[in-house]
Amino acid sequence: MLSPEVNFDTIKVTKKQKGGVTVLRLVSLFSGCGGMDLGFIQCGYKIVFANDIDNDAVQTYRANLGDIVQKDIREIHEDEIPDCDVLTAGFPCQPFSSAGKRRGVADERGTLFHECIRIIKRKKPKVVVFENVRGILSIKNKDGSKLIHTIEQLMNDCGYHVDYKLLKASDYGVPQNRYRVFIVGFRKDLRKRFVFPKPIKSDKLTLKDALANIDSTLPNNEHWKLSPQSQEIVPYIKEGGSWKDIPYDKLPTRMKHIRDNIRKYKSPNFYRRYSWNEICGTITAAATPENCGILHPTENRRFTVREIARIQSFPDNFIFEASSIAGKYKIIGNAVPPKLAYVIAKRILEILEDKIVAEEVTSEQLAMF
């Protein structure tokens, strides 16, 4: 099990919890394998309750971070959850993803954020942090209103000032151009608002940097083998290239049809193979080479589990356990990058301790994203 004192490569964990600095209690809902929680732990928070329903995510969480309640959130009574200072929730993103069917609140999973609201009303944490895919900014309710505004209004009715923003993980030390929306609410009686941290400049985020010095004896060095079709066409794709490198006569029939009508299909970039000198694109839960840059820059294979863990900013001693190798890719792809979570956790702590001046940032200003 990981110790809270484990350091990330560039994150220095202070040990001032006993010197008058309050240890904040965190309730984590839809915890996944623990990416968000690990970032908060590294910032000195104490997890007092975690919950997820996915077997693979729970297995990995327990192996690294400790106890987690495996239960449908709809079956969890508020009295089962301890009091807390901060509540985080990465409620299911599939209904809001541009890669999915985008059924939004028509999808049963799209209403699960109401379960978060139910718990927030009872526990009244000082701060609430939601994380979701960028599609949540545009998805609409049945009446045509935007879902993000519904969430904002519900939080306001619960007594929280809400600010939200689309963040790019590579702006905060994560070697991945991953976009996610963070929604942060501060309880109104605190008379504070969240100020999103400014991007952190770094020139060490390329694949060459991210995957340097991976010890072959590290756990999770296995990779998910490509399908027979992918094995046949991937060797034609050069470093930094894509499916457009594949000779026409070698393309599967469906891809030939798309190549023949490339304007109609808006020039899709299937089978993207990022070069060593590029920052990797979003690692998805499906880990399919057709839809995300999961291909190794120079070897004809997917990234290993350990490599995508590096790209998601998990430390090398975080072990992924699942019933299948595909399950390991899934839980990593669904995770919040721990380094990004750390940045959010640190900023919350700074605001609560009055270490920065929390200027008023309105939701209207942030809605431009």
In residues, how long is the chain? 369
Query: For position 365, what pLDDT does the model report?
Result: 31
In Å, the largest CA–CA distance within the chain is: 69
Nearest to 167 by CA among 9, 336, 357: 336
Q: What is the CA radius of gyration of the chain?
A: 21
Query: For position 111, what pLDDT does the model report?
Result: 77
| Cα(155)–Cα(186) distance, integer angstroms | 10
Mapping DSSP to helix (H, G, I), strand (E, B) and coil, where does residue 168 land? strand
Angstrom distances, CA of residue 94 to CA of 62, 65, 329: 24, 25, 16
Bridge partners for 165 per DSSP: 182
Digit-by-digit pLDDT tens for the chain (369 residues) are: 554 333 333 333 333 444 555 699 999 999 999 999 999 999 999 999 999 999 999 999 999 999 999 999 999 999 999 999 999 999 875 554 554 455 555 565 557 888 999 999 999 999 999 999 999 998 888 788 888 998 999 999 999 999 999 999 999 999 999 999 999 999 999 999 999 999 998 889 999 999 999 998 999 999 999 999 999 999 999 999 999 999 999 999 999 999 999 888 877 789 999 999 999 999 999 999 998 999 999 999 999 999 999 999 999 999 999 999 999 999 999 999 999 999 999 999 999 998 865 443 333 432 332
pTM value is: 0.87
Cite the active site residues.
Answer: 93
Identify the structural domains of the chain with CATH numbers, from first to last.
Answer: 25-199+335-366 (3.40.50.150)
Query: For position 155, what pLDDT does the model report?
Result: 95
14 conformational bin, left if phi > 0, alpha if psi -120 to 50, beta if neither: beta
Half-sphere exposure (Cβ direction) of 202: Cα atoms closer than 13 Å: 20
Please count the other Cβ atoms lying within 10 Å of the Cβ belonging to residue 337.
27
Angstrom distances, CA of residue 283 to CA of 45, 176, 272: 27, 8, 12
